[in-house]
Structure 1
Amino acid sequence: MSDNRDGNQEAQSWQSLAFLWTGSMICIPSLLIGGTLVSGMPLWEAVLVGLLGYGIIVVLMIFQGIQSSDIHKPTVSVASQVFGEQGSKKIISIILAVACLGWFGIQANVCGAAFSQFLSVYGINLPVPLSSLIWGIIMLLSAIYGIKILNILNYVAVPILLAVCVYAVAVSLMGDGVAQIKNYLPAGSMSFLSGLSITIGSFALGAVIAGDYSQYAKSRKDVGKAAFIGILPSGVLMITVGAILTLTAGTADITSVFTELGLPVLGIIALILATWTTNAVNAFSGGIAIINVFNISKEKERIAVAIAGGVGTLLAVVGILDYFIPIMSVLSAMIPPVAGVMIASYWVIQKGDKSKWASKAGINFLGVISWLVGAAIAGIPVIFSFFPSLPQLPNQPLIGMVISFVCYLVARNIIVQKQVSINQ
């Protein structure tokens, strides 16, 4: 198969890809997950949940990433075989675009609000909408200039973020911090499976779209090394840091911890860098999805990313995105089943042979229906959570993926058997 890699994007090393994944993992939500887990289970169990949960994420990322590395195309383009070109463009790409760009806008708003609050400490009044706009544009610019700029950003930000997290833990352990951890008994009760679900769900979207970045990897081995080294250590570290801060400081929010210590500058640096590294990935993947929806040429990729991210930022500035959170939550739950169908097709049916991959014209209803079954089941617990009067079901992101995986294989086997019978 010829190399279809974009000429403007050179192959990248596994180290740079690993840094990108680490930058995505080191974020405020990852710390909050650690706090959530330790509120219902012992510290050692929370760390074990993180290890297993992110281990599963790594496996999914490798399966997804190698497909794109083999074909040299992003996730939505690789999906055109199993969903059909139109199915990939009109269904999967739109869902990915709305989810990625919606969360981009919300994160830009969170960063803007925190920055405005930080400036107010020094008597400077910067309106939150203006602050959100400024940081949204800054984050968007790093995504517009592609994977090279994202790599540079992560090479700078990741060491700083790691140092800040380690320092926060060291400070929190002073005094009676160690004794608090030793004597800690969780106030609530959370099952191991529930904790696992929360952990996997936190990065399920990232696992599905891993191919957007792994398409530039030099080999399958590089995809695996980058995912393992980029996700597992940083993911477990964030959960551990978040858990320890919750036990010793009463909160997993690292900005609040540093503010209470009289070091608000460190706190805002941590928040901005953590949001920036994660949000640039949202904008880049959202832009790729938009390109696929409207069949935009690769030469105009930067314009597409700029427009898409700009719309997300403006919506955040005017506050409209707050009303879209329920919609984006449902869409985010519907994305993991995409990987179930893609993995079934590429790794089970094609046995990982890239020469058997070919984009299909129109809509591949077998793939779309298989995904829809898993997506509907995965979305039900999220929808129910918006209505307290309804039964509250556990949100298990892997269930939808497994159901789509099985549906595709079973349905395809039935179709093949019928074709054999007709030919006989």
Structure 2
Amino acid sequence: MASAVGVDDYALSRVPSGARYSWWSVAVQRFGQISALSQFLLGATLGFGMGFWQAFLALTLGAVILEVVAVFVGVIGVREGLSTSMLARWTGFGRAGSAVIGLAIGISLIGWFGIQSAVSAQGLASLVGVLPEWGWSLVFGLLVTAIVLWGFGSMAWTAYITVPAFLILVGWSIISELSRHDVGALVASAPPGPQLTLLQGTTLVAGGFIVGAIVTPDMTRFNRSVADVVKQTLVGVTLGEYVIGMAGVLLAHAVGTSEITTIVTSSVGWVGILVIVAGTIKINDWNLYSSGLGLVNFVGTVLGRKVHRGAATAVIGLLGSVLAAAGILDAFVDFLTVLGVVFPPIAGIMVAEYFVVRRWRGELEQARRRGAVPESAPDWVPATLLIWLAAALVGRFVEVGLGSINSLVLAFVLYVVAGKLGWVRGVGSHRTAEAVPAGSAV
């Protein structure tokens, strides 16, 4: 359903088969998420603290973790055609639990949206001038908001432009800088900064995109088949990690810094600003998009009001842009990092419920045949909340292994055990206002 503020993009309903896209259209966007400025920065961070082959191993281990998570939750998304926060109602969390997830997604991703807008603004202000940083923050944030207002279709076209542009510019940056160095010597050289362990490096890789992997259903609900989900995940994550990540590793060794602006400007001068802009738009539009979906679900659940996704996007896009311009978002980085520990258990619980326990799987399948969502959802699932809390605490405070993976696996195991013992039960029930077949137009 379209309005003056964009398209609703099936925010609270299933995406019908007629509105699905080819795997390539979705894969370009997935690749755009991974092959972004943040991935370039991740590679530079690894290269600053690790040797080439050790960084390669860290990227490999992290990519495998992300691919497994993204494939499993992505399969749920393509089968059900529902967003992450909507799916949560029938994958272990209940109606109120899904509202909490929607709020957590909204806060986390709008925070990162603002932070990345501010990062781009710093580069624009230093390389182009004309406007101060706060002015560029507003311009950049509002530009991305305008793209996201018109939903998946608009974001797909943006990906067709920004992803090739980013790859070309990164390629130029690599060739320009590495042509002045002996590549063999760089591969064999010691890291220029304080050393990172393999565990630390893998944690950076897996943790850097774990939230993006968990909200994969927001994207894969537009896919047409399970095979498409697998293909786009393998292509997008693998190429994104290796092509962009390893490029960052080499450039960090060549330039001797992990500062991404220094790297791109020392390699290609003012063209580096195009690298920064193209590399940030494609991940920032998905930050805003998933944030909007989470907010729509939260408002619909808690306040009982159906909010148009475009309107929600406009509000939070403006808010994120203003916060970035005000320069106060840096204070939220630690908070957002802590908030990130609540996300891995969500994936563990959703996968355990959908594929193993299957307490509400039958309701989803019956509704899917009607092209609708189930007519009702439990209000709360107390066992899930306890498992979620316990797994999040383990991820936050247990320092053995990878915190994000520890919490995800623990949540999966505890939920399966609770399901087998009959402890997974809903408390209360609420009729679903969206339990009607999805229309054929947005």
Name the TM tier (shorter chain): 0.7 to 0.9
- Contact 1:177–1:248, Cα closer than 8 Å, also in 2: no
Q: Among residues 220, 230, 233, which one is paired with 2:226 in the alignment?
A: 220
Q: Is the 8 A contact 1:58 1:227 kept in 2?
A: yes
Partner of 1:280 in structure 2? Answer: 285
Of 201, 212, 228, the match for 1:206 = 212
- Match of 1:164? 169
Q: Distance in 1 between matches of 2:308 and 2:27?
A: 27
Distance in 1 (alpha carbons) for counterparts of 2:245 and 2:15: 36
What does 1:297-376 align with in structure 2 at a 5 Å threshold? Answer: 300-350=308-358, 355=365, 360-376=377-393
1:65-105 superposed Cα distances (whole Å, 9 cap, x missing partner): 1111111110111111110011111x111111100111111
**Distance change in 2, residues 1:415/1:202 (3 Å):** same
> Does structure 1 residue 59 correspond to structure 2 residue 65?
no
User: What is the alpha-carbon distance in structure 1 between the residues aligned to residue 239 and residue 305 of structure 2?
Assistant: 37
2:190 aligned counterpart, secondary structure: coil
- 2:160 and 2:379 map into 1 onto residues whose CA distance is 41
Residues paired across the two proteins, number: 400
For the Cα contact (< 8 Å) 1:69–1:217, is it kept in 2?
yes
Question: Does 2:204 correspond to 1:195?
Answer: no
User: Would you say the 8 A contact 2:349–2:412 is kept in 1?
Assistant: yes
Q: 1:173/1:113 Cα in 2 relative to 1: closer, same or farther (>3 Å)?
A: closer
**Is the contact made by 2:58 and 2:202 (CA closer than 8 Å) also made in structure 1?**
yes
> Does the 8 A contact of 2:299 with 2:305 survive in 1?
no
Shift of 1:14: 0.7
The match for 1:119 among 122, 128, 131 is 128
Task: Please state if 1:98 is matched with 2:104.
Answer: no
Give the unaligned 5+ runs of structure 1.
Answer: 382-391, 419-424
1:293 is matched with which residue?
298
Deviates more, 1:230-239 or 1:319-328: 319-328
Task: Give me the whole-angstrom Cα distance separating, in 2, the residues matched to 1:160 and 1:140.
Answer: 20
* 2:178 matches 1:173: yes
TM-aligned CA deviation for residue 36 of structure 1: 2.6
Deviation at 1:303, TM superposition (A): 0.6
What residue ranges of structure 2 are gaps of 5+ in the alignment?
1-11, 368-373, 426-442
Task: Provide Cα deviations, 1:139-198, integer angstroms capped at 9, x if missing partner.
Answer: 111111100111101111111111112222222222333253144123654332222111
Residue 394 of structure 2 corresponds to 377
Corresponding residue of 2:440: none
The offset of 1:344, in angstroms, is 0.7
| TM-score for the superposition, normalised by structure 1 | 0.87
Judge conservation of contact 1:32–1:242 (CA < 8 Å) in 2.
yes
Q: Judge which range, 248-257 or 231-240, deviates more.
A: 248-257
Aligned-partner Cα distance in 2 for 1:415–1:149:
45
Of residues 255, 276, 279, the one that matches 1:249 is: 255
Could you tell me which amino acid in structure 1 is paired with residue 346 of structure 2?
Answer: V
- One-letter identity of the residue aligned with 1:60: V
- Equivalents in 2 of 1:185, 1:5: separation in Å? 51
Deviates more, 1:273-282 or 1:177-186: 177-186
Query: Is structure 2 residue 93 aligned with structure 1 residue 83?
Result: yes
Whether 1:44 and 2:53 are equivalent positions in the alignment is: yes
Alpha-carbon spacing, 1:258–1:186, altered in 2? closer, same or farther (3 Å) = closer
* Aligned: 1:32 with 2:38: no
TM-score (normalised: structure 2): 0.84
Q: Is the 8 A contact 2:292 2:316 kept in 1?
A: yes
Do the aligned partners of 1:4 and 1:71 also contact (CA within 8 Å) in 2? no
Q: Is this contact kept in 1: 2:35–2:279, CA < 8 A? A: yes
Q: What is the distance in 2 between the residues matched to 1:86 and 1:18?
A: 32
Distance 2:219 2:295 in 1: 16
Identical aligned pairs, as a percentage?
27
Aligned partners of 2:348 and 2:409 also within 8 Å: yes
Q: Deviations over 1:287-306 (max 9, x none)?
A: 00000001187771111111
Q: Distance in 1 between matches of 2:65 and 2:264?
A: 33
Separation in 2 of the partners of 1:115 and 1:180?
Answer: 33
Contact 1:11 1:216 in 2 (8 A): yes
Deviations for 1:228-257, whole angstroms, at most 9, x for unmatched residues?
A: 111111211111101100111223445423
- Residue identity in the other structure for 1:133: L
Q: Distance in 1 between matches of 2:291 and 2:423?
A: 36
Once the 2 structures are TM-superposed, how far is the Cα of residue 8 of structure 1 from its aligned partner? Answer: 11
Read off the aligned partner of 1:194 and give its amino acid letter: Q
2:244 alignment partner in structure 1: 238
CA distance in 2 between partners of 1:113 and 1:41 (Å): 27
Q: Contact 1:255–1:266 (CA<8 Å) still a contact in 2?
A: no
CA RMSD of aligned residues (A): 2.6
Which stretch of structure 1 is more off in the superposition, 322-331 or 63-72?
Answer: 322-331
Task: List structure 1 runs of 4+ shifted beyond 4 angstroms.
Answer: 6-9, 296-299, 351-354, 356-359, 392-395
Alpha carbons of 1:183 and 1:219: their partners in 2 closer, same or farther (altered >3 Å)?
closer
Per-residue displacement from partner, 1:319-344 (whole Å, max 9, x unpaired)? 23222222211111211111010011
User: 1:28 touches 1:253 (CA, 8 Å); kept in 2?
Assistant: no
* CA–CA separation in structure 1 for the residues paired with 2:88 and 2:292: 16
Aligned twin of 1:110: 119
**1:155 maps to which residue?**
160
Distance 1:207 1:326 in 2: 20
Q: 1:159 to 1:306 in 2, by over 3 A?
A: same
The 1-side partners of 2:272 and 2:424 are apart by: 61
